[in-house]
Amino acid sequence: MSTQMTILVVDDQPELRSGLALTLEAEGYRVLLAEDGSVALDQLRTQIVDLILADIAMPEVNGYQLYEQVRADPRLLRIPFIFLTARALASDVRYGKVLGVDDYLTKPVKPEDLLAAVEGRLRRARDLASLWAEGERSVAVAAPPTTASHAAPPSAGAEPLVLGTLRIASAQHRVWLAEREVALPAREFRVLELLARHVGEVLTPAAIVQVSHGITTDDAEASALLRPMIRTLRRRMGYGVGEMGCIENVRSVGYRLVVPEG
C-alpha cells in the first residue's frame, strides 16, 4: 500500500490509538492520531486524509458528531468513514448504518479484519473517484461552454415548475423554497429537477446518477455517489441534520420528492 494514503485514527484511549497506528503503519499507511472529534476536525483543516477510523464514545465531540460534521463539509464528504467502537448492540450498529457510515467495526477487532475493511473502503473510494472524474469529462463534452446548462427540455416548456412551496426555473437555473432562493451547484440542481419532474415517484440511484453525473453504474456505486450529495442538498434547502425534508429515502429502492407544504 502506498505511503501516500493517510488514515486519521480518532480514539480517546492512548493504548488503542498506538496499537492501531502500529498495525496500519506496518502496512505502509501514514497515520494521524486524535484523541477526540474536536482534535480530529483541527487535523482535517490542515491535513489531507484518505480515510477516517473513529470511536463513538469520546469527550468533547463524539464519533456521531464528528461524522455529521465531516459529511456536512463539501471538502470532506467523500472521505471514507469507519466506526471502530465497543458499542456492539444491534441498535448501535443499525443507527451507524442509518447515518450512512461506510463501515462499522466492533472492538476488539482482529488486525486482518481491520486491514480488510480499510483496504476495501479505500479501493471503493478510488473507484468512485474514477467514476466521478469520468462523469465530469462526459458533462464537459456534452455541454459546450456557450450553452446554458440544464435548461428545461423543450417538452417541459419555459414556465417554472411549481410544487407546493418549491419553485424551479430550469432555464434560469434557479430554485426557491418557501420564497427563499436556494443556490445550488449544477449537479445538485440536476438531481432536484429530476426528482421534481417525477414527483411522488421513487427513482433508483442508478437512474439519478445517469442524469446527474452522466455515467452508467449499478445502484450500489450510485448510492455511494448520491448519499453525500443528497445530504448536502437537504442542508442547502434549509433542512436540519437528520431531516429528510421533501427528499425522501425509500430504503433499498431509491429517492423520491414529495410536495413541500407550508
3-state helix, strand, coil in the chain (%, to 5): 45, 20, 40
In this structure, CATH architecture of domain 154-257: Orthogonal Bundle (1.10)
The Cα 208–Cα 146 span in angstroms is 25
pLDDT at 133: 57
Q: Confirm if 81 and 38 have CB atoms less than 8 A apart.
A: no
pLDDT at 143: 40
Three-state secondary structure call for residue 130: helix
Closest C-alpha to 229, from 22, 77, 13: 77
pLDDT at 33: 96
Query: Tens place of pLDDT for every residue, the chain, 262 residues?
Result: 444 699 999 999 999 999 999 999 999 999 999 999 999 999 999 999 999 999 998 988 999 899 988 887 878 877 899 999 888 777 777 777 767 788 889 888 999 999 999 998 898 878 766 655 554 454 444 443 333 333 333 334 457 899 999 999 988 889 999 989 999 988 899 999 999 999 999 999 999 988 887 777 888 878 888 888 898 899 999 998 888 999 999 988 999 999 998 6
Three-state secondary structure call for residue 243: coil
pLDDT at 132: 54
**CB contact burial 26-56 (16+ within 10 A = b; e otherwise):** eeebbbbbbbbbbbbbebbeeeebbbbbbbb
In this structure, CATH architecture of domain 6-131: 3-Layer(aba) Sandwich (3.40)
Sequence-distant (≥ 6) Cβ neighbours of residue 155 within 8 angstroms: none
pLDDT at 130: 66
Distance of CA 111 to the CA centre of its chain: 27
Region label for 55, one of left (φ > 0), alpha (ψ between -120 and 50) or beta (otherwise): beta
Three-state secondary structure call for residue 140: helix
Please report the sign of the dihedral spanned by the C-alpha atoms of residue 226, residue 232, residue 235, residue 240.
positive
Q: Domain residues of the chain, as ranges? A: 6-131, 154-257
- The alpha carbons of the chain give a radius of gyration, in whole angstroms, of 20
pTM: 0.58
